[in-house]
Structure 1
Amino acid sequence: MTDSHKDLHKGSHHYDCKGSSNIKSCQNHSVTPSVSIGKIFTKVPVVLAELDLQININETITFPEPVLEIKDIKKRVILTQCRLLLPTHKLFVKGFVRKNIQYASPCHEIEHSTHQSVASDLHSYTVDIPFDCVTEIKDFLSMPVMPKLNDRQEFDFAVSKSLPSGYPEKDQLLSSDLSQFHQESSQFYNELAYCELVSSKIIEWDEALDRLPLHGPASFYEGCFTKLEEKMVLDIRLKVLQDQQIRVASTTNDPC
């Protein structure tokens, strides 16, 4: 054993990490919650509809460098808008598919290509593929509470005034007072419907558009490209909800 190994072995005691645990077991018991008895009004999310949407996407992706082959693609569906436009039944959906593409790119700095080998680096490229669509909800599980309209009304008071010279003395000006303004207005703060993303499924087909053989000595089978056309079928399952007041009945708070 060399001196450096002896010193490392001697000094290893200073770096020992000894773990200890003070976590002890604790007991628990079930508690029956107290509930209000009778017919209770509450405000909860109500499912208006559950939908399966299918969106077709055709997009061209341009890479920043030549691509030898695609290694892997990871996808994530992100919604940026899901809005039920009341009092219509139209649902507006907007978002994008985040794609992280892992690919091999030829690298001559590692080794020049030969008829039997091609050296490459592994890189990744992230791109957002947008989509948007409008669909109509035809069958509601529960009907939405339609928005109440704001209202604004003006009213006036009658006034009578003497007329200036040139008019009969018995006549008077009968009208409303232009120096006053009276109004009654009401505003409602309606509950906005919202969405939850339940699941998504993507079927895609990616195909190179400008694949060319590699420069210099290389196998006839090898080539690289920079443009990729993808055809994608996106299936999305959504829940459309709205906070509503409902009445529930409770007859007892005894244990079940």
Structure 2
Amino acid sequence: MDKEYTCKAGVIKSETLTECPNEFLTPKGFNGPFVGKIPVVLAEPVIQVDVESVIQLEEPALEIKRVKKNLFITQCKLIDTGFDYECKGKRTGKLFLSGYVRKNIEYATADCINEGKGGVSGRIKHTTVKVPFKCVTKIKFDVPPVICETGPAKEIASFTDSIKGKDFCGQEIIGSDPCEMGFVHVECFNEKVFCELEEVKIFEDDILKDPKGLGCDGKEEFVFDKIIEKMVIFIRLKLLQKQQVNIPGKEISEQKK
């Protein structure tokens, strides 16, 4: 070992912390009834997505050591399609869903092969990929979204009895004033429906594509650099919209009991 080399690893500082005292206060709020604007759960669907993909590894692998998966949603857009009589008259919609599964694959390589003694040595490598998915699914609302529509502009006529000129019978002309017109335009704004990701379950099966033997004494040793992956994904979502709701007070709630 070189004398000039100095090992820097070690504990720099350590301290034992004491417990701090605290005091719990009782939360206070308004005693209703009153009106609040809060997120309301419209539906809580569990969506099944089936994905098949082919993954290319950077180097030939001897075996997969570990796979870490995380699902991310990039689009969750709801379109209200109105009442559906097949669903007992419930309001329904279509949910456009897209995202990807981020996969980190750790695998062992075969860099050194000792055919005489049947030994294989290598390194631990990793490849990170994003497997995309996209689908549309039907939604049945437990609570329908509140939607208002912007109507057409309305014309307001002004009455007048001093229109110049007379008709051929000598009668004075009265009615709407041709020199003055009014319009009413009402623009309505809606709260957006948004999604919350509650739970994800992923079931998968990986098939090695085009494995190649190492030529060792044991015929079971081979390497591969492509994986055919089949995934069944279950995604549990909450669809919410901010709505105005009546919140009863403590006395009213006890009376209903």
Equivalent residue for 1:63, pick from 57, 60, 68: 57
Q: Larger C-alpha radius of gyration, 1 or 2?
A: 1
**How far has the Cα of 1:67 moved from its partner?**
1.4
Matched, 1:78 2:46: no
Helix, strand or coil at the partner of 1:221: coil
Residues of 2 paired with 1:18 and 1:53: CA distance? 49
**How far has the Cα of 1:151 moved from its partner?**
3.3
Partner of 2:170: none
Partner of 1:205: 205
Identity of aligned residues (%): 34
The 8 Å contact of residues 156 and 176 in structure 1, kept in 2 or not, is answered as no
Deviates further, 221-230 or 183-192: 183-192
Partner of 1:95: 99
Residues of 2 paired with 1:157 and 1:186: CA distance? 17
User: How is 1:139-178 mapped onto 2 (pairs within 5 angstroms)?
Assistant: 140-145=141-146, 147-153=147-153, 155=155
Partner of 2:134: 132
Partner of 1:189: 189
Partner of 1:42: 36
The two structures have a TM-score, normalised by structure 2, of 0.73
Cα 1:25–1:104 shift into 2, 3 Å? closer
The 8 Å contact of residues 156 and 184 in structure 2, kept in 1 or not, is answered as no
Residues of 2 paired with 1:20 and 1:251: CA distance? 46
Amino acid at match of 1:79: I
Deviates further, 202-211 or 218-227: 218-227
Which whole-Å deviations, capped at 9, do the CAs of 1:37-96 have from their partners, x for residues lacking one? 442000111111111111111111111221111111111111111121124511111111
**How far has the Cα of 1:129 moved from its partner?**
0.7
Cα 1:125–1:29 shift into 2, 3 Å? closer
Residues of 1 paired with 2:247 and 2:211: CA distance? 65
Residues of 1 paired with 2:12 and 2:138: CA distance? 66
Matched, 1:225 2:227: no
**Structure 1 unaligned regions, length at least 5:** 5-14, 162-174
Amino acid at match of 2:35: F
Matched, 1:104 2:108: yes
**Structure 2 unaligned regions, length at least 5:** 4-10, 83-92, 165-176, 252-257
Helix, strand or coil at the partner of 2:114: coil
Residues of 1 paired with 2:195 and 2:152: CA distance? 32
Residues of 2 paired with 1:176 and 1:143: CA distance? 46
Cα 1:20–1:217 shift into 2, 3 Å? closer
**How far has the Cα of 1:219 moved from its partner?**
3.1
Helix, strand or coil at the partner of 1:74: strand
Cα 1:104–1:19 shift into 2, 3 Å? closer
Amino acid at match of 1:186: V
